[in-house]
Structure 1
Amino acid sequence: MSFLTALFELSNAMAPYILFGLLFAGILHELVPDTLVTKHLGRESVGSVVKATLFGVPLPVCSCGVIPLATSIKKSGASRGATLSFLISTPITGVDSILATYGMFGWAFTIYRVITSMVIAMVAGVLTNYMDKEVEQPKPLFSAAPQGGFSMTPLHAKTDEAGSCCSGGSCCESTQKRGFSLRAALHYAFITLLGDIAKPLFWGLLIGALITVAIPENLSAILVEYAWLSYLIVIAIAVPMYVCATASLPIAAALMLSGVSAGAAFVFLSAGPATNTVTIGVVKKMLGSKSLSIYLGTIIAGSILFGLGLDYIFDISDIDPKSLVHMDEEAGLIAMASSTVLWGFVGYFLLKPLLENKGNL
């Protein structure tokens, strides 16, 4: 019963942001040409990683809402490194989280959190581009003709609506522009993208609820008692657990006020919003096991390193951030409705192959 309750609460917490992220991704897909994403984020370079990181920092999107956005820019031609850096920097920061961090811990802590998240994201992106390069498939020099023969038109050349060939980028620019279509945006968001992430989303929610049930209620007491292991304990809890950047703030403040080191609390602030079981499953499916290892390894190592650095700063300056916090525990009607809609879509995509196979018999 406690597992079902945890699953219900986790779904209510994540569903509105996932649906919003899907809708936002669908609208961006209609408004932003794929060529623009490819131009700025497609190269396996440091520049593309920096651009993806900076693009993700101000977006008020949590670790579940960023999934469809990252999937969308990857489909549009972004490199693995740029996609991964965007996937890390976006959920840790965001305008709402930055302001909330400032209100709770002050400007120095806020700047430290933003800069360290950007560094972690950039390092992960650069490592991915150099250690997990995209393998380009060899393309034939000439395209197949409709009648089964071969056309002498090179594949890299563009053709306009009349069929004339143009190898440059400007002569066909007008034919590539399209008007905004809400129907196309919704189809891309809730059919294309959600269909891609439905299975890892399903398992991520189940595993996330199981982990939530397994976390002891006296967590802060355990962390204080085993101070030398607090970093590893926090990492083990924060990585699979779902918590958004803003909601992680009062948890971190409560840990500090209960005697847990500021560095260990910072590890939770950094690793918690950046990862969860749902995101881990999607990253593995979208980018592969090697990128997933870089993703987790960079976040874990970076969070611990910067946590130790924060402890050192607190030790030499005697900083003791304290604040009053408030969290809404009750799930509203919108959250429950969003959860119902999301589970409806997930159930449809999970059952769709079974129904199609049954119909073919």
Structure 2
Amino acid sequence: MLALFPWLADALTYRLLALDPGTRLAEAVHFFIEDTSKIFVLLILIVFVMGLFRTLLAPERVRQILEGRSRALGYVLAVTLGAVTPFCSCSSVPLFIGFLEAGIPLGVTMAFLITSPLVNEVAVVILASVVGWKLAVVYVATGLGVGLIGGVLIDRLRLERWVEGYVWQIRMGAVAVPGQAPGLGARVRYAWGEVRDIVGRIWLYVLIGIGIGAALHGYVPQDLFARYAGPENPFAVPVAVLMGLPLYSNATGIIPVAEALLAKGVPVGTTIAFMMSVVALSPPEFIMLRKVLKPALLVFLGIFLALAFVAVGLLLNGLFM
């Protein structure tokens, strides 16, 4: 199914618009078309499926299940689920909304939200095939660790007040599902209503984010990173994290860049810090997250992730020197 989106982008970019392959404009347009079509299809499917799920499982029951188990297990399940869902941060936003609507604690939800764009099984297999399983395992372990620590920290600080009010107002428990045992038609209508409501709230943020990402994707040269984040620079790791800020990609898409950086002698820790920054700390992601998180939580999340990625990079450089 996912092969349909590159095919569509190829057809529209190179045949309908007749742009020359390899040009910066063509790359930006191709990126925008592919990601727009893919993300909106995923958004609609995810929200629709979650809408159906909400008609089958009462929110209070979800809350009881979570409260009946240790919070530690909730974090483990959250980062595990985040690791096995092949969604970028854009697609994780509706899941984040759904988790909070179901009464799942913010810390557990944020652990998922941080981990989901960083790690997925497709990226792990590709990364292992390109640079080896050792680096792939290191990347997964550090990604899970960052998500787990971030969720616990947000939970301990009780930052629920920094989530947008409308998210709490449309919690599952406050949404009326018709009937005690609604039929399939009622369930489908309810789920489609959720699609119109949630996608209607975030579509503009998604388009803005993809537009920024497409422009940067097409016009920022890759060799810039190897020039300023090489092993001779004592500030290479912080520089790599900063250089990843304006870019936009998922964990799979950034792997070829990581391979090139490693081939040019950029240290392992610096490369992984850069990968994580691109995937989870880009302005397009935060533009999309702004729809559900208040500025204070966005600032907190950005500072935490930046410091965590720098720490990971420095640690791995020390271990792999």
Q: How does the TM-score come out when normalised to structure 2?
A: 0.74
- How far does residue 256 in structure 1 lie from its aligned partner after superposition? 0.9
Matched, 1:65 2:65: no
Which residue of 19, 35, 42 maps to 1:14? 35
Q: 1:221 to 1:258 in 2, by over 3 A?
A: same
Aligned to 2:46: 24
Q: Which amino acid aligns with 1:12?
A: I
From 197, 200, 204, the counterpart of 1:195 = 200
Q: Distance in 1 between matches of 2:248 and 2:104?
A: 26
Aligned-pair distance for 1:58? 0.8
The 5 Å alignment of 1:46-195 reads: 46-134=72-160, 175=180, 179=184, 181-189=187-195, 191-195=196-200
In the alignment, is the contact (CA less than 8 A) between 1:37 and 1:73 conserved in 2? no
- Opposite residue 51 of structure 1, the aligned amino acid is L
- Secondary structure (helix, strand or coil) at the match of 1:228 reads coil
**CA positional deviation for 1:59:** 1.1
Q: Are the counterparts in 2 of residues 80 and 134 from structure 1 also a CA contact under 8 Å?
A: yes
* Alpha-carbon shift at residue 95 of structure 1 (Å): 1.6
Work out the CA distance in 1 between the residues paired with 2:151 and 2:193: 30
Q: Which amino acid aligns with 1:14?
A: D
Distance 1:291 1:29 in 2: 27
Amino acid at match of 2:289: V
Q: Distance in 1 between matches of 2:248 and 2:105?
A: 26
2:273 is the counterpart of 1:231: no
The number of residues matched between the two structures is: 281
Give the Cα–Cα distance (whole angstroms) in 1 for the partners of residues 298 and 216 of structure 2: 20
Task: Compare the two structures and name the one with the higher helix fraction.
Answer: 2
Matched residue, 1:286: 292
Residue 11 (structure 1) shift: 1.8
Q: Is the 8 A contact 2:51 2:190 kept in 1?
A: no
Over 3 Å counting, the alpha-carbon distance change for 1:225 and 1:128 in structure 2 is closer
CA contact (8 A) 2:36 2:207 kept: no
Matched residue, 1:320: none
Shift of 1:288: 1.8
> 2:13 corresponds to which residue?
none
Q: 1:25 to 1:289 in 2, by over 3 A?
A: same
Paired amino acid for 2:127: T
Structure 2 residue aligned with 1:204: 209
Matched, 1:309 2:315: yes
Instruction: State the partner residue of 1:358.
Output: none
Measure the CA separation in 2 of the matches of 1:7 and 1:252: 20
Point out where structure 1 has 5 or more consecutive residues left out of the alignment: 136-155, 162-173, 316-361
1:146 is aligned to none
The counterpart of 1:215, out of the listed 217, 220, 244, is 220
Task: Report 1:319-334 matches (<5 A).
Answer: none
Amino acid at match of 1:203: I
Task: Give distance in 1, aligned partners of 2:261 and 2:220.
Answer: 15
SS at structure 1 position matched to 2:89: coil
Q: What do residues 287-316 of structure 1 show as CA deviations (whole Å, max 9, x unaligned)?
A: 22232233222221222212122212222x
How far apart are residue 4 of structure 1 and its match?
A: 6.6
Distance 1:241 1:42 in 2: 39
- Summarize the Cα distance change of 1:262–1:281 in structure 2 as closer, same or farther, 3 Å threshold: same
Shift of 1:218: 3.0
Q: How does 1:253-268 map to 2 (within 5 A)?
A: 253-268=259-274
Instruction: Confirm or deny: 8 A CA contact 2:245 2:278 kept in the other structure.
Output: yes
- Aligned-residue sequence identity (percent) comes to 22
Structure 1: which amino acid aligns with 2:208?
W
- Offset of 1:208 from its aligned partner? 3.0
Task: Describe the SS at the equivalent of 1:201.
Answer: helix
How far did 1:97 drift? Answer: 1.2
Q: Conserved in 2, the CA contact under 8 Å of 1:81 and 1:127?
A: yes
- Distance, in Å, in 2 between the alignment partners of 1:276 and 1:37 is 32
CA contact (8 A) 1:127 1:294 kept: no
Q: CA deviation at 1:111?
A: 1.8
Q: Which amino acid aligns with 2:51?
A: H
- Structure 2 residue runs without a partner (length 5+): 1-18, 162-172
Measured after TM superposition, the shift of residue 225 of structure 1 is 8.2
Deviates more, 1:204-213 or 1:65-74: 204-213
Letter in 2 for 1:221: R
Question: Secondary structure of 2:203's partner?
Answer: helix
Q: Deviations over 1:21-75 (max 9, x none)?
A: 3112321231253525444568995443332222211112122222222233233
Q: Secondary structure at the match of 1:287?
A: coil
CA distance in 1, matches of 2:76, 2:222: 40
Kept in 2: contact 1:42–1:78 (CA 8 A): no
Is residue 243 of structure 1 aligned with residue 249 of structure 2?
yes
Does the Cα contact within 8 Å between 1:128 and 1:294 map onto a contact in 2? no
1 CA distance for matches of 2:260 and 2:316?
A: 17
